[in-house]
Amino acid sequence: MEKPTPLKSLEISDRGMIARRRFLNFLAASPLVATPMVASTIASILASMPDRSLAQSYDVLRSSARTLGPDGIITAAGDALNVFEFEPAAKKAVLAQEAPAHWGYLESGVDGDVTRDANNAAYARYNIRAKRLIDARKVDTSVKIFGETWRSPIFLCPVSSLGAFDAEAGVTAARAAGKRGHQMILSTVDNASIADVSKAHGSPAWFQLYPTDNWAVTQALVSRAEAAGCPAIVLTVDRQGGRNTETLFRMRRQDQRDCSGCHTPGFANEVSRKANFAGIDVSKVTNLYGTGMTWSFVDRLRGIVKGKLLLKGIVTGADAKEALRHGVDGLLVSNHGGRAEESGQATIGVLAEIVDAVGGRIPVLIDGGVRRGTDVLKALAVGAAAVGIGRPYVWGLASFGEPGVDRVLQILDDEFITIMRQTGALNVGQITRDTVTRV
């Protein structure tokens, strides 16, 4: 048994709580009660202790209570130690539905998936500078974007067709995000509508726009989102023409199902299960992405969007400056999770260029490859106003539904708070370029 830690060296001054924790630790270590069931109950009590106990929550009991399947894969959302553990769990769940093509769809980048992987790997090129002797027991993770307060800077990215991973699609993800105070951007082509998602979220979600190549449809989509209270339209600009989603195509070959029931050719058929298009005449649409869009399209859209207009997919300082000239309110630095072009360029690597180009006039958000609370901190340090996750929350959704998304967000929040404390940042504003060094 570990020796009790002297009170004065603990970061937590709540003596009552420490006494309880010590007692629980003592019980857990006692040979009289240390059966797996008792240990697991104690672990869940320890895990449920409030944020004040975070500094101590990385308790040895946490892992000893885990039940892994014979394949070493987690069997409950609460057992995950990091977001990566949801990936094999999600794969298992999707393959159990005999849907390898859906798995390929989620995982795929383009060509050799080099850009997809570069997004995450590039975070290792930034090191974090710890700061000592700062009382960081109370940490405020909230951010303010366009006057909205988000409890956490981590938001859910638009991911189309969530219905392939959960019966309620975006509604389930929104419920989890809303309860934890995270914002969410709903994809135009999710199965759930912006109205239902906003209701489940508890406050209006943002709407990602694929405008199509028919202006009347663009207008109808924007009005539908605004009628649901949506304060921000996020136009995705990184999908010109086709793409080579090789990983998807490879997995598709393994899929034995007849997919024509859902994937019937023709735009109207394609969007017939996409709630945001319900009742909209799409007979003149030939393309979802509005291929051929130019800055004059941004001007035209600016003219009808009543709330905030953001561009998603900007990856150069020059385009960021152009966006300013066209009255855009915010940018989301993104390469579509490595699903647009195989540039090899990680989003974190171009963030500083874009932040410097806009010079604080509009908020710059980022996504791509974010898998740890330390990644979140690094992106904020370089100048992001908020940080999005795509695949990780879908892994949570596909494997365990709402509890899966909840746990993914909880893990990232916990990791983020932990690293904030170690850098002496008491609020997000105190995370600055000095917080990181580039290797």
Ligand X SMILES: Cc1cc2nc3c(=O)[nH]c(=O)nc-3n(C[C@H](O)[C@H](O)[C@H](O)COP(=O)(O)O)c2cc1C
What positions carry a catalytic annotation? 336
334 binds ligand X (CB under 6 A): yes
Q: Determine the Cα–Cα distance for residues 249 and 151; give it in Å rounded to an integer.
A: 39
- Least distance CB 143 / ligand X (angstroms): 18
Binding letters toward ligand X, positions 195-234, x by CB under 6 A: -------------x--------------------------
Q: Which of 25, 187, 247, 430 binds ligand X (CB under 6 A)?
A: 187
Taking CB atoms within 8 Å and a gap of at least 24, the contacts of 316-325 are 316/350, 316/353, 316/354, 317/350, 317/353, 317/354, 317/356, 317/357, 318/357, 320/353, 320/354, 320/357, 320/358, 320/364, 321/357, 321/358, 322/295, 323/298, 323/358, 323/362, 324/358, 324/361, 324/362
- Give me the residue whose beta carbon is nearest to ligand X: 390
Of these, 369, 383, 396, 424, which contacts ligand X (CB under 6 A)?
369
Which of 212, 224, 151 minimizes the C-alpha distance to 184? Answer: 151
- The helix or strand, by DSSP H or E, that contains position 156, with its residue range, turns out to be strand 154-156
Q: Shortest approach of ligand X to residue 387 CB, angstroms? A: 10
Nearer to ligand X by C-beta: 231 or 369? 369
Q: Which residues contact 118 (CB under 8 A, 6 or more apart)?
A: 338, 344, 345, 346, 369
Should residue 177 be labelled a site residue for ligand X when binding is judged by CB under 6 A?
Answer: no
Minimum distance between the CB of residue 317 and ligand X, rounded to whole angstroms? 19
Of 129-137, 291-299, 386-394, 410-418, the segment contacting ligand X by CB under 6 A is: 386-394
Task: Tell me the closest approach of the beta carbon of residue 14 to ligand X, in angstroms.
Answer: 37
* Least distance from ligand X to the Cβ atom of residue 37, Å: 37
Binders of ligand X among residues 92 to 151 (CB under 6 A) are: 105-106, 119
Q: Compare residues 204 and 369 and give the one whose CB is closer to ligand X.
A: 369
CA 26 from centroid of its chain's CA atoms: 38
Q: Is the distance from CB of 409 to CB of 154 less than 8 angstroms?
A: yes
Binding of residue 367 to ligand X (CB under 6 A) = yes
| Shortest distance, position 243 Cβ to ligand X, whole Å | 12
Cα(197)–Cα(210) distance, integer angstroms: 17
Q: Which residue of 78, 104, 153, 158 would you call a contact of ligand X, by CB under 6 A?
A: 158
- Residue in 73, 154, 189, 251 binding ligand X, rule: CB under 6 A: 189
HEC string of 372-407 equals CHHHHHHHHHHCCCEEEECHHHHHHHHHHCHHHHHH
Residue type at 429 in one-letter notation: G
Neighbours of 139 (CB within 10 A): 18
State the pairing for strand pair 386-389/126-128.
unpaired
Identify which of residues 53 and 245 has a Cβ nearer to ligand X in the complex.
245
Q: Are 404 and 398 a contacting pair, CB within 8 Å?
A: yes
Binds ligand X (CB under 6 A): choice among 152, 160, 374, 435:
160
Q: Check binding of 276 to ligand X (CB under 6 A).
A: no
Note the residues at the interface with ligand X (CB under 6 A). 105-106, 119, 157-160, 187, 189, 208, 236, 312, 334, 336-337, 339, 367-370, 389-391
